[in-house]
Structure 1
Amino acid sequence: MHELGIVFHVIKRLENLAEENKLSEIQSVTLEIGEVSGVVPEYLQDCWKWAVKKTEIMQNSELKIEPIEAVTICNDCKKTYRTVEFGKTCPNCKSDNTVLQVGNEMNIKQIEAC
């Protein structure tokens, strides 16, 4: 379960940010997660609920997750398509000369703090 490692990394980054900006509490964090990133949002939520209780500044913080749709581009016909639905094969020209454009990333999008 790599979600726990991700949560620890995010918490550490937020603690450093809170210290740099003299924040007393982080109320919520919004993460963008690509739908083919391999991160399971439900596992991430469970790990978050457990891990934030161990930090003073984030004990009551909420984790919000926004999915990023995976999009692939075909190098032959130059069209984009939804990756999860069609996989590596372009639905327009049937080529497998394709590259994932977005949908594999995870970003800290927003932090609500005081």
Structure 2
Amino acid sequence: MHELGIVFHIIESVEEVATQNNIHRVSGVTLQLGEVSGILHDYLSDCWRWACDKNDLMRGAELTIEEIPAITYCEACGRQYPTVEHGRTCPNCGSGDTYLIQGDEIMIKEIAVPDEDECAKIS
């Protein structure tokens, strides 16, 4: 279950941002997950709740997951297509000369702080 390791990494990143910005409590984190990242949302959410309950900064913080669709680019015809639906073979020209251009990433989009309207954003 690599989801727990990912959660620990996210929490460490949030702790760094919190320290840099004098934040003492986090109410939520928005995470962008690629459609083919290999991360299981349910496991990630379970690990999130477990790990946050053990961390004063993160206790009770909500996790919001936004899925980034997987898109593949075809070198042969120069077109893009949905990866999950068509795999590695281009549905437009039949070429296998393709590569993933998005959909396997894991990024923290926002860190929400209680009683504040603003979110710290990591780019």
Normalised to the residue count of structure 2, the TM-score between the two structures is 0.91
Match of 1:3 in 2: 3
Question: How many residues are matched?
Answer: 114
The aligned counterpart of 1:105 is: 105
SS at match of 1:50: helix
Q: How large is the Cα RMSD of the aligned pairs?
A: 0.7
Q: Return 98-107 or 11-20, whichever deviates more.
A: 11-20
What does 1:31-42 align with in structure 2 at a 5 Å threshold? 31-42=31-42
Cα displacement string for residues 83-103 of structure 1 (whole angstroms, at most 9, x for unaligned residues) = 000000000000000010000
Q: Which residue of 2 aligns with 1:83?
A: 83
Look up the SS of the partner of 1:54 in the other structure. coil
The residue identity in structure 1 corresponding to 2:104 is: N
Give 1:38-53 correspondences, 5 Å limit.
38-53=38-53
Q: What CA distance in whole angstroms lies between the structure 2 residues aligned with 1:96 and 1:20?
A: 46
Paired residues for 1:20-31 under 5 Å = 20-31=20-31
Percent identical: 50
Q: Secondary structure at the match of 1:36?
A: coil
Distance 2:54 2:15 in 1: 12
Give per-residue Cα distances to partners, 1:34-58, cap 9 Å, x unaligned. Answer: 0111111111000000000111011
Cα separation, 2, equivalents of 1:17 and 1:92: 44
In the alignment, is residue 12 of structure 1 matched against residue 9 of structure 2? Answer: no
**Cα displacement (A) at 1:113:** 1.1
| Deviation at residue 107 of structure 1 after TM alignment | 0.4
Q: Return the structure number with greater relative CO, CA threshold 8 A, min gap 6.
A: 1
